[in-house]
């Protein structure tokens, strides 16, 4: 991989699975609220040292950029949004500038993307790629945001700019990710699998995890369960704590009826909102009602706190919670529609269609059905949901 392009690959999906926890008052003074990383942990020790050096010279740009990068990586690795706050604080002297230094602008766009502030992130990325057209990280991040926003023509153009800036695997993954959502699923999967095999994987484990997860999801969309499972497991061997990967594999297991496996996979990760949600779904599917009660209360508290903060990052998960665990189809549909206004990926489409079916509201599903037709989306699960509207006379 060419220098620099791999640095932000792991951070691009940082917001795909909710990672924040709601503030909560302890029941007693003896209650453990959080187990902080062991002070002797080498990575934590290094982060503290970097932060201390930055405090001595907070306007030292190279030092601030390094600290912010490291905190973004830690936030992704530990599924802890506080690290993103530390990253923003490190960039504080330049954060509000209309035209900050390019290094700051890229990291600011990455952090804005993690908060689902996509228009602001795209504004930064457009300015940055105009200023530095040879910045591969900027083009990759821009393509990712454009794909989430369903601007596939723009995303394809951004991916094309990577060809002389990144290695073949990263460029192919970028292009295949767009194509798989835009009527070229089979061809995109074949191409990416071939390039990955020819390269013998990626030198960077984060890139290898990203590619294997992408390939697993492509196989899942065409109902090739055995292939998807093999790829998910290969990715987990590389990154067993990757929150996006854990959520994607858990969804696969739930769809396959492998509820006990999903519950066991997610049990150590209750701190992460999206993973706690999936653990609760696995408990419910497995008929473990008693164990489900405290998780429902915890999820309700977290989502309620998010609403009070005006947090729009976890709308997809909140809609699933309302539909599958509370049985409130109308509320789930309202939240899913708000989420669709912000991001347009296959899981976003799925929860909106499921909620619209449950609420008997075909009109609410129209934006997703139009997107599926216009983008020529290929996804077995979405196709089955869409067909129900036609078979049931519009569901309302």
Q: What is the mean pLDDT of residues 42-63?
A: 85
For 23, the token pair is 């503030």
Q: What is the mean pLDDT of the chain?
A: 89
Query: Tokens 């960039």 label which residue?
Result: 91
Pick the range with the lowest mean pLDDT from 108-112, 379-383, 390-394.
Answer: 390-394
DSSP E strands in 271-354: the ranges are none
User: pLDDT (tens digit, 9 = 90+) per residue, 105-114?
Assistant: 999 999 999 8
Average pLDDT over residues 32-41: 50
Residue 391: pLDDT over 90 = no
Length of the chain: 396
What gap in Å lies between CA 146 and CA 152, rounded to an integer?
7
- Look at residue 14 in the predicted model and tell me its pLDDT: 46
Quick one: pLDDT at residue 12? 54
- What pLDDT, on a 0 to 100 scale, did the predictor assign at position 75? 83
Instruction: Write down the pTM of the prediction.
Output: 0.88
Q: Is 56 exposed, middle or buried (0-12, 13-18, 19+ CB in 10 A)?
A: exposed
Break the chain into its structural domains and give their ranges: 1-22+38-141, 314-396
For the segment 235-251, the average pLDDT, to the nearest whole number, is 95
Q: What is the pLDDT of residues 297-331, one digit of tens each?
A: 999 999 998 888 877 788 999 999 999 999 999 99
- Return d(Cα 82, Cα 200) in angstroms, integer: 36
Q: How confident is the model over 136-140, as a mean pLDDT?
A: 96
Between residues 295 and 5, the one the model is more confident about: 295
pLDDT at 351 over 80: yes
pLDDT band at 136 (very low <50, low <70, confident <90, very high): very high
What's the average model confidence in pLDDT over 244-254?
Answer: 97
* pLDDT at residue 38, rounded to an integer: 46
Q: What is the pLDDT of residue 46?
A: 79
Output the six-digit token pair for 246.
């854990």
Dist CA 277 CA 255 (whole Å)? 15
Mean pLDDT, range 279-308, rounded to an integer:
94
pLDDT for the residue numbered 52: 84
Position 84 pLDDT exceeds 80? yes
Kindly state the tokens that stand for 186: 């089979």
Mean pLDDT of 12-27: 44
Among 26-35, 276-285, 309-318, 334-343, where is mean pLDDT lowest?
26-35
The pLDDT of 131-152, averaged and rounded, is 96
pLDDT in tens, 167-187: 999 999 999 999 999 999 999
Pick the more confident residue, 364 or 10: 364
Cβ–Cβ < 8 Å for 249, 232 = yes
Return the pLDDT at 390.
Answer: 73
Instruction: Look at residue 9 in the predicted model and tell me its pLDDT.
Output: 60
What dihedral angle (degrees, nearest 10) is formed by the CA atoms of 278, 282, 284, 287?
A: -170
pLDDT at 392: 55
What local confidence, expressed as pLDDT, does residue 395 receive?
Answer: 53
Torsions phi, psi of 270, nearest 5? -65, -15
């Amino acid at each position: 991989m060419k220098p620099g392009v791999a640095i932000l690959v792991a951070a691009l999906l940082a917001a795909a699975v909710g990672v924040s926890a709601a503030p909560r008052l302890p029941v007693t003074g003896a209650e453990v609220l959080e187990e902080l990383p062991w002070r002797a942990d080498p990575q934590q020790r290094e982060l503290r040292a970097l932060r201390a050096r930055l405090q001595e010279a907070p306007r030292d740009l190279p030092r601030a950029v390094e600290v912010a990068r490291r905190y973004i990586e830690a936030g992704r690795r530990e599924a802890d949004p506080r690290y993103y706050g530390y990253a923003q604080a490190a960039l504080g002297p330049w954060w509000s500038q209309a035209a900050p230094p390019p290094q700051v602008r890229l990291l600011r766009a990455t952090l804005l993307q993690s908060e689902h502030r996509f228009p602001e992130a795209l504004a930064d990325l457009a300015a940055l790629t105009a200023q530095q057209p040879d910045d591969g990280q900027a083009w990759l991040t821009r393509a990712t945001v454009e794909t989430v926003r369903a601007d596939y023509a723009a995303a394809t153009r951004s991916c094309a700019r990577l060809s002389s800036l990144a290695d073949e695997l990263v460029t192919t993954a970028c292009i295949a990710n767009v194509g798989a959502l835009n009527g070229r699923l089979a061809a995109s999967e074949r191409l990416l699998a071939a390039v990955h095999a020819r390269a013998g994987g990626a030198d960077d484990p984060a890139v290898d995890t990203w590619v294997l997860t992408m390939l697993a999801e492509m196989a899942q969309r065409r109902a090739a369960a055995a292939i998807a499972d093999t790829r998910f497991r290969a990715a987990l061997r590389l990154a067993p704590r990757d929150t996006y990967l854990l959520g994607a594999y858990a969804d696969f297991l739930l769809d396959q009826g492998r509820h006990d496996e999903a519950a066991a996979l997610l049990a150590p990760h209750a701190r992460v909102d999206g993973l706690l949600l999936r653990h609760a779904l696995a408990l419910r599917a497995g008929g473990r009602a008693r164990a489900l009660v405290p998780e429902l209360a915890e999820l309700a508290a977290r989502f309620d706190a998010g609403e009070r903060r005006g947090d729009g990052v976890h709308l997809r998960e909140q809609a699933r919670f309302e539909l599958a665990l509370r049985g409130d189809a109308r509320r789930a549909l309202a939240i899913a529609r708000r989420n669709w206004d912000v991001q347009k990926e296959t899981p976003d489409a799925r929860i909106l269609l499921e909620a619209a079916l449950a609420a008997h509201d075909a009109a609410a599903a129209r934006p997703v059905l139009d997107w599926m037709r216009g983008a020529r989306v290929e996804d077995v699960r979405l196709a089955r949901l869409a067909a129900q509207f036609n078979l049931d006379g519009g569901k309302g």
